[in-house]
Amino acid sequence: MKCMKIFCDFDGTAAKNDVGNLLFRTFADNRCFEIVRSWKEGKISSRECLIDLCKITRVTKEELEQFSDSQELDPYFLELVEFGQQKGIGVEILSDGLDFYIERILSKYKLDKIVPFHSNHLQFLNRNKIVAEFPYYDRGCGHCANCKGYHVRQSQKKKKPVVFVGDGLSDRCGVKEADIVFAKRGRALLKYCQENQIEHYEFDDFNDVLYKIKRILDH
Ligand SMILES: [Mg+2]
Ligand SMILES: [Zn+2]
């Protein structure tokens, strides 16, 4: 189990808040609630959801930087990364959100050179208009913009057991493929795991995850 790989969702998992959702609540107009609802109900894909949300968003680079800088990571996530470094276990972020804030927040914690991430790409069209680009879309299931299942499979090809830590609906493809699953208490992913008989550990924060991973490695 030593060379396991740990994939973590970003929004609401490695980051305390659902930063992507908060971004659109802050800088898009009220139509964002209906767009997100349609995605949750499975009426539109997460790719369509992000395209639509970006269209109704007005934010400058400076505003987005300031917004990102106000966001925090789960403090125990840093401990997990440190533990991984000691043990030679890679910790990576998989997100169906946008790279701009992930990169900014990771660098605030000096993790940008340490923790790789795969996500969708945010591009500024002009001073205050943004658009989402999808570098991984073609390799995924067609519903996710950045399908986490694809990244998990890539890692498993290298014969590494994959741990997946997540909280939301965008983690469904990831947990279907992963070898060990952590689902956050009280969130949509936990319900999904329960309803689909996906074996999982419940957790509240990365302190729980770290404790459990240490125990798994001991056995
Ligand atoms: Mg999440
Ligand atoms: Zn998918």
CA 148 – ligand 2 centroid, Å? 6
Say which ligand is closest to the CA of 148. 2
Whole-structure pTM value:
0.97
Question: Can you give the residue range of the structural domain that contains 80?
Answer: 5-218
Angstrom distance (rounded) from CA 168 to CA 160: 24
Q: What is residue 124's predicted lDDT score, i.e. its pLDDT? A: 98
Alpha carbons 55 and 179: distance in angstroms, whole number: 37
Q: Tell me how far the alpha carbon of residue 170 lies from the centroid of ligand 2, in angstroms.
A: 8
Ligand 2 centre and the CA of 84: distance in Å?
A: 26
Residue 219: what pLDDT?
Answer: 81
d(CA 41, CA 67): 28
Beta strands in the chain (DSSP E): 5-9, 90-98, 117-124, 130-133, 162-166, 180-184, 201-203
Q: For residue 63, how far is its CA from the centre of ligand 2 (angstroms)?
A: 31
Nearest ligand to the CA atom of 152: 2
Q: What angle do CA 181, 199, 139 make, to 5 degrees?
A: 55
Measured in angstroms, how far is the CA atom of residue 167 from the centroid of ligand 1? 5
Q: What is the separation, in whole angstroms, between the first and last Cα of the chain?
A: 9
Q: What is the pLDDT of residues 118-159, one digit of tens each?
A: 999 999 999 999 999 999 999 999 999 999 999 999 999 988
Give tens-digit pLDDT for 167-198.
999 999 999 999 999 999 999 999 999 999 99
Q: 131 CA distance to ligand 2 centroid (A)? A: 21
Q: How far is the CA of 149 from the centre of ligand 2 (A)?
A: 6
At 1, the pLDDT band (50, 70, 90 cuts) reads low
CA of 146 to the centre of ligand 2 (A): 7
Centroid of ligand 2 to alpha carbon of 153 (angstroms): 12
The total of structural domains in the chain comes to: 1
14 C-alpha to center of ligand 1: Å?
A: 8
Length of the chain: 219
Judged against a pLDDT cut of 60, whether residue 2 lies above it is answered with no
Q: What is the largest CA-CA distance in the chain?
A: 54
pLDDT band for position 23 (50/70/90)? very high
Residue 181 sits in a domain whose CATH number is: 3.40.50.1000
Q: Which residues surround ligand 2, an ion (CB under 5 A)?
A: 140-141, 144, 147, 173
For the chain, give the percent of residues with pLDDT over 90.
96
Alpha carbon of 11 to ligand 1 centroid (Å): 4
Residue 71 pLDDT exceeds 60: yes
Q: Are 13 and 167 in contact (CB under 8 A)?
A: yes
Q: How much is the average pLDDT of 40-58?
A: 97
Q: Please report the pLDDT score of residue 120 as a whole number.
A: 98
Per-residue confidence (pLDDT) for residue 3, from 0 to 100: 80
